[in-house]
Amino acid sequence: MSDPAVKTLDKHGFLNVVSRAEFCAALASFAHLGVEDVPLAEALGRVLAQTLPAPEDLPQTARASMDGYALAARSAFGATETNPAYADCVADLRIDWSAAPEGGPLVLKHGQCARIPTGGTLPDGADAVIMVEHTDLLTGESGTGGPGAGEPGAGTIELRKSVAPGENVMLPGEDVKKGEAALPAGRVLRAQDVGLLAALGVTRVGVGRRPRVGILSTGDELVPASETPRPGQIRDVNSSAIACLVAEAGALPVPLGIVPDDLPRLTDALAAALADCDVVLLSGGSSIGARDHSVAAILAQPGASILAHGVAMSPGKPTILARVGAGGVAKAVIGLPGQVTSAQVVQTVLVTPFLRHLSGCADVLSAAPPPFVAELARNIAGRPGREDFVRVRLEARPGLPPLAHPVLGKSGLLKTLLAADGLIAVPAEAEGLYKGALAPVWPL
């Protein structure tokens, strides 16, 4: 890593803290993981690898956007409730959209209409649809009169409203024209995006490869969640919580269990994880205590370098970022704090955007805060020189930004995370934020 903004660990092994912006810049230096082709059924939540041009017009033909009667707009010219117009219904396109009663192609003449369902293709000669609510069937095939008489597909139709050309009609190419960009590269595909691709006949799509993320918890005191801790032991929380956050980021979590505070074993476990995964998250051992072996285990890997050891944020200061390998095959190792709250805050603010970056998302590693804001319900304090991330509960207010209530409590308590909806950062250059200030929110 040659970027002068990114500092390295000094020879004494002390923390060399970088800003969050510098940490994000280092994360952004890792390349996207490449592209894979997936069927449309597996595209939800994936990142579109290339801008997708529409292979055809959508819709391909003029279609009704309402149930009603297709007709030439001039056939209903001047029609009102008190001065209706009349048209002969010559076909029911709910049954057969293409054929006239005599068997030829359907062409509507002035003074004719055809019953049409939502989404139905307009026949030749029609340029508008009058909603069924603005019509009455006066005479039908049953020979009886009055609104709704007979099957409403033939007979004389009373038109109680005028329509303009194109009214209640989806025009050819109105959604997207052939050759235009249907979806841009870097877009996370939602259900509605998948629906658009299906409408265009796209059955496979190129998406960014999902990173495989190895998750290692370290510490002699840890036992699996399935075991009962003995005195001096605690259950491993981070493996489960971090795996969920990895999955929410669209990546593939690979839980690798617990490694004790033993440098040779941690070195071997990290080597095995790097051989199988694109990113490795080490939970615990990232500080500078006697049993914190993460830095030494990382530097024992071939081609390893420490890009940052510490980030100026709280919670989350003892976070490590390392590069292992060289060139396009370089992989990231991120040492997370072992403290549960700190690990989840770092994962939310730094690691989740990084995983999305690896998958092909654009501009997700900007150090700029998110656009979503809330109004502070009370003053909150900070410490100059670092960003303080405060957990907040959001209170919805119609027509106003939500009200952010700081969630108070000891930092290690899980209930402070459970009660929080998001995080608000006190900037490093500020001593705090005042009640009533609008502040960006990182959703939890």
Q: What are phi and psi of 276, to 5 degrees?
A: -110, -15
Q: Which pair of tokens denotes residue 153?
A: 């597909």
Instruction: Indicate if the alpha-carbon torsion angle 302, 308, 310, 311 is positive or negative.
Output: negative
Question: Coil, helix or strand for 299?
Answer: helix
Instruction: Indicate if the alpha-carbon torsion angle 439, 410, 444, 35 is positive or negative.
Output: positive
The 10 Å Cβ neighbour count of residue 70 is: 30
Flag whether pLDDT at 325 surpasses 70: yes
DSSP code, position 265: H
Select from 261, 326, 316, 324 the least CA-distant residue to 294: 261
Interval 10-67: pLDDT, tens: 444 446 789 999 999 999 999 999 999 999 999 999 999 999 999 999 999 999 999 9
DSSP 316-377: --S-EEEEES-GGG-EEEEEE-SSHHHHHHHIIIIIHHHHHHHTT-SS-S-SSPPS-EEEES
Q: 58 to each of 170, 193, 300, how far by Cα in Å?
A: 9, 14, 56
Fold (CATH) for 37-59+183-208: Molybdopterin biosynthesis moea protein, domain 2 (3.90.105)
Q: Are strands 380-381 and 432-433 parallel, antiparallel or unpaired?
A: antiparallel
Interval 134-181: pLDDT, tens: 999 886 543 333 333 334 456 899 999 999 999 999 999 999 999 999
| CATH 2.40.340.10 domain locations along the chain | 373-443
Q: Are strands 155-159 and 169-170 parallel, antiparallel or unpaired?
A: unpaired
Indicate the CATH number for domain 63-170: 2.170.190.11
The CATH H-level (homologous superfamily) assignment of domain 20-33+209-358 is MoaB/Mog-like domain (3.40.980.10)
200 residue type, one letter: L
How far apart CA 387 and CA 238 sit, in angstroms, is 23
CA atoms within 13 A on the CB side of 440: 13
CATH ID of 373-443, from 3.40.50.1370, 3.40.50.300, 3.40.50.11750, 2.40.340.10: 2.40.340.10
Interval 272-305: pLDDT, tens: 999 999 999 999 866 665 557 889 999 999 999 9
Interval 79-108: pLDDT, tens: 999 999 999 998 888 876 555 555 567 899
